[in-house]
Amino acid sequence: MTMAFFREDPDTSFEYSGYVSQDTPSPTRAMPDSVPMIREKLRVPMAERVFPREWLLGLVDRSVRNAAATVVVGRAGTGKTTLAAQYVKTIKKASWYTIDAVDADWGTFQSYFRAAVMKEEAGGKGPTRRKLHVPGCSSPLDLFADVTAGLDLAGRDWPSVLVLDGIHHLFDCSWFGEFFDLLIASMPVGSHVILLSRSKPPTPIWRLRSKQVLNVIDEKLLALSQTEAEQLLTHYHAKVADVGSAVSDSFGRIGGLVEMLDTEVGRAR
């Protein structure tokens, strides 16, 4: 086990010191002393130009209360991140991890995942520097064992809601199947994980759904109805000649409709 330092500085990054492994860990390979950790990846994104959809937020809330996990699936612009960001703003002990393509590296991923699970509560008091015991875990099983032990030693619990945004970037990783299964199984009562993805995980999630352990909010649910599109236009004090055509052309994607509105405004100027 190695010792790592998790330091908050006024700049935009954390510094993480410790063992870092790749997708296929090798005990004989020389490991870097540190890897940069980007602060923004562990922050809840700003939900700009938010259009409130209370029924959809209620659907997420029911899933959080009754299952271990929620998978929100939809293409870019369907409002996945905005929906989750709106929801977790109401949760006191929520954590967020925005996953990018570089996080397919096992060492990078485990560093961020551990930081997201074990970070201090937002707005909490105390020193800006703290130490984390961070071994180079060679597998998801080791990672969950280490995180669980770390939380127990610190007298802390899992986040009440943990959001993993962009989980589709990990689907091709050899370790993803094991990680996914352990993640769902490891969530204690009172904790929930929200997975945001552009496609469904390459695992048999129907079994988890049948056991009411996992719920799926798909693109059909995320899509705007014509009534919601009209409400959105009213919300932004905008007008469209044919709302039905606008919904069809944007495939009901809230991001697509907003882009259309921006285009119309630009033409009007």
Residues 55-99: pLDDT tens digits? 999 999 999 999 999 999 998 888 899 899 999 988 888 999 999
The parent domain of residue 240 ranges over: 226-268
User: What 3-state DSSP class applies to 247?
Assistant: helix
**165 and 187 fall within a common domain:** yes
The structural domain count of the chain equals 2
**122 and 194 fall within a common domain:** yes
**107 and 240 fall within a common domain:** no
**148 and 237 fall within a common domain:** no
Q: How many helices (H) and strands (E) would you count in the chain?
A: 10, 9
Please, which residues have CB within 8 angstroms of residue 69's CB and are 6 or more apart in sequence? 183, 184, 187, 192, 193, 194, 195, 208, 213, 214, 215
**188 and 114 fall within a common domain:** yes
Tens digits of residue pLDDT in 14-62 = 333 333 334 444 433 333 445 566 888 999 988 656 677 899 999 999 9
Residue 131: exposure state from Cβ atoms within 10 A (0-12, 13-18, ≥19): exposed
**235 and 159 fall within a common domain:** no
Q: Model-level pTM?
A: 0.76
**134 and 158 fall within a common domain:** yes
